[in-house]
Structure 1
Amino acid sequence: MAAPPTQRSWWRFGVPVVCLLAGLLLAATHAVSGGDEIRRSDAPRLVDLVRETQQSVDRLTGERDALAQQMDSTHGRSGDAALAAMQARSAEMAAEAGMDPVRGPGLVVTLTDAQRDAQGRFPRDASPDDLVVHQQDIQGVLNALWSAGAEAVQMQDQRLIATSEPRCVGNTLLLNGRTYSPPYRITAIGDAEAMQAALAEAPLVRLYKQYVVRFGLGYTEEAHDELQVVGHADPARMRYASPMGPLGY
């Protein structure tokens, strides 16, 4: 029995339309994939990234070990031995640079501003500059102590080293960024008699002692059998110093 005219007409137009759509789909797929497999991805997987990173780490580790071995062979010692040598040298230099505390006999010198008399008055002919301790007075005492062979010197609560620079600002002392008010206490480790003799001969100290008598400034010297001077706590920053040789040798 023949198919109805309506059914034949649907197949006549439906099949070409389906074929046309399929062709368009295939063409679009080909254009997107560029001729390759459409489900394949060229993006690296996570496991590949991990593998590549590990290979990079292994390569850099090998380079590090090779450089370390080269350094050891150059110095003729192991890395631990080289570090121990540098630490030992640093400890020796720390003591010489004033970084370590020091104990021993010594002298304590104290300077202070003038005090009022029993009536609460200063000498009539005294100017304000005559009544306070100045930087030159402190420097005169310090220079005398160093010249007498002082092993270590402390001012207030700070150890004095080569880069220390006490400065007076008005009636206060500026030392390594900290300010102090009188009395100014200077502690020195060394031969107390030699330091006292140097102080007695120092021109600036002798001038200061005249002001002590005339205007009432304060000055005392105390010898002790046992004193302690602290180590320098702040980092030592050298602006113009340069090493004497490899590792400071």
Structure 2
Amino acid sequence: MTGAHTAGPTEAAPQPEPEDAPQPPPQRRRRSLAWRIGTPGVAILSGALFVISAADSRGTDLRPGRYTDLAGLVEAEAAEYEEIRQDLEDLEDEVDALTEDVQTLGVTRTRGRIEVLRDPAGLEPRTGAGVSVTLSDAPEENLDEAVAHDYKADRLVVHQQDIQAVVNALWAGGATAVTIAGQRVITTTGIKCEGNAVQLQGVPYPQPYVIQAVGDPDDLMAALDADPLVSGYRSDAVNPYLEIGWDAETEDEVVAPAYDGLLDLRYARPVVTNP
């Protein structure tokens, strides 16, 4: 009699996973707290700096070149001034045309007085003998030597007070007309330093500054020699450590064109209060 064979319990062999079975996602390493906080902070700070730079620059370069195109600046300012002056002339011609239509005794007398005062006011051209004075900055190579000998750097450049001193001396010498850079000087002419240029009636002019006057050449030269402010400038001109530019000579003919700038005067009025 044959007995039945009973098999004991067996372990099932592991089955290989199919190749296309999904793989578990890799474990991401958690970033440190400093990294999570610092990154947004840097982004916010960078954005703030961009905003501040844009506001400060107002659309311009925050790091412009060391040297600007002075000739281009002068040309642009002069062109703008010329455009405004042309508009003024057009308006004055229109006013004159309208005034011609007004024929009253008061208007006629006033126009007569205006014609008499045009020449002394500088609104008529003048030509005659006179003098020419040229002021210019000292050579750049003199700067180190001047500072080494305890001279201030501003003594090497022409200032508005230097130009004014020459003009005032020429008036004192009997000048009947004075020009600066070819522009007629009148009682309301303003001379103002603006960077490394001088503004005359709102238009910048670079050095050298040529000042001419119509009048007796001997009297004008004597007035320049006698003026203490001009004498101080001339002392710096002969100083070997400064050598600021100075040249004065007589002229057989000086042409002073008529003043053609703005004639409107603006002034302040005191406020009147009731007691």
1:90 aligns with one of 77, 93, 114: 114
Q: Which string of whole-angstrom CA distances, capped at 9 and with x for unpartnered residues, describes residues 56-111 of structure 1?
A: xxxxxxxxxxxxxxxxxxxxxx9266655443322212112101110111111110
Aligned pairs for 1:183-222 (under 5 A) are 183-214=208-239, 215-222=242-249
CA contact (8 A) 2:146 2:153 kept: no
Distance 1:141 1:123 in 2: 28
Distance 2:146 2:218 in 1: 36
Greater share of helix residues, 1 or 2?
Answer: 1
Q: Which string of whole-angstrom CA distances, capped at 9 and with x for unpartnered residues, describes residues 182-234 of structure 1?
A: 00000100111111111111111111011111211111112112111011101
Distance 1:235 1:170 in 2: 24
Indicate the residue corresponding to 2:137 in structure 1: 113
Q: Structure 1 residue 115: deviation in Å?
A: 1.8
Q: Aligned AA for 2:224? A: L
**Secondary structure, counterpart of 2:253 in structure 1:** strand
Q: Structure 1 residue 125: deviation in Å?
A: 2.6
Indicate the residue corresponding to 1:155 in structure 2: 180
Distance 1:125 1:80 in 2: 67
Q: Structure 1 residue 129: deviation in Å?
A: 0.7
Indicate the residue corresponding to 2:128 in structure 1: 104
Q: Aligned AA for 1:100? A: E
Indicate the residue corresponding to 1:235 in structure 2: 262
Give the TM-score normalised by the residue count of structure 2.
Answer: 0.54
Indicate the residue corresponding to 2:200 in structure 1: 175
Give the TM-score normalised by the residue count of structure 1.
Answer: 0.60
User: What percent identity do the matched residue pairs reach?
Assistant: 38
**Secondary structure, counterpart of 1:194 in structure 2:** helix
Q: Structure 1 residue 237: deviation in Å?
A: 1.6
Further displaced range: 186-195 or 78-87: 78-87
**Secondary structure, counterpart of 2:213 in structure 1:** strand
Distance 2:146 2:103 in 1: 71
Distance 2:191 2:144 in 1: 28
Report the number of matched residues: 161
